[in-house]
Structure 1
Amino acid sequence: MPLTISSAECQVAGFAIATIGWILSSTSMGLVEWRVWHMDDPSFFPTGLACVQMWRVCIYRHHTNISTAKFCHQYTYYDDFLPLDSRIAQHLMLLASVRGLMGRGFSIYALWNVYMGILQRHDACHSFVVSGTLNMIAGVCIIIAVLQNYYCITNLQGIAFLPSFQLSFKPDTQETRSAAFMASLGAFLMLLRGLFFLSYRFPPDIQVI
């Protein structure tokens, strides 16, 4: 029993790290600073900036010298102006969040078996493998979404927003900020711990049922 608990201690640390990664990636979905559009040319539309997220866009206009007007629009499935890459990113991040949550459940079950002395090799190892696989899938989904966001920024891809938004098809400049970096860190932690979960082995000298 002590050897089994000792061998699982690193998995407990891995569970904590993977949980932090899942929290970071899930939190990043609520942040708007995935793509920040800077609109500096007042020739056609008012100047300001827009934060383009996967589920909404927030537009900031310089109302006066000391105040800024803010307008946010939540995307719906009826918004046909949203490009395919944004739709894909939405589903990837949702899939990652669900798979990450499922991975937490399987890892809790595996650790519970080990610490309670239910030393069934198949059950514990199988749960760790499933948890690691789910973490890996979640991390890959997040990485794809982040890379897709980066590709859109570097290629200055635009979005045909509704005319009422008073946004040009493409900004003068655009950049990525905290949301994408937070998602990347979360994905890295989930991928790292997924590898450790997949590599879990029972101690060879432990008595198992």
Structure 2
Amino acid sequence: MKTTITGLYDRYEDAKAAVKALENAGVSSDDISIVTNKANGDVDVEGQGNRAGEGAGTGAGIGAVAGGAGGLLTGLGMLAIPGVGPVVAAGWLAAAAAGAVAGAVAGGAVGGIVGAMIESGVPEEDANFYAESVRRGGSVVTARVEGDHRASAEAILKSSPRVDVAARRASYTEQGWTRFDEAADPYTPEQIAAERDRYRVNRL
């Protein structure tokens, strides 16, 4: 039986490295997802041969989000998520979000991501936290792995500088956060930069 593991990263480059390491270890691209905030300034999907720029407001341009022969990252596409804004994403989690947006379900895009994570075994509290983290400029990598491969896959996710979820959630709570709100305004690039600076200082 497959279980879902998740890694949160402040830098897209770290999340991308985690995805590549999972693929190199034999985890199928179909069982990996990446969702990252486009406004964090790290992500460039131009020139990758996909339709990332199309349908950003509708999800129609997400393209081949399920990975493919070239690996998960070749299927990156862009869509808009209520409360988050534009995200660059690929994989099964992104496909759920794209389907919700394309179906014009009110609030369905975020519900799709949070709901898909919950259905795959991620606690609701954690799913809301990860959605909020993407809103604040983070990158989330998820992988579905067989139970006996969980420890090795977790080690791979930790090989990139992964966010301490408990400490980050405590920081959000101190700021008055309780759960992800899809009706909230997306973070601006300036707010995301300030958020990243806050945690960069905390790591020094």
TM-score by length of 1: 0.25
Q: Higher helix share goes to which structure?
A: 1
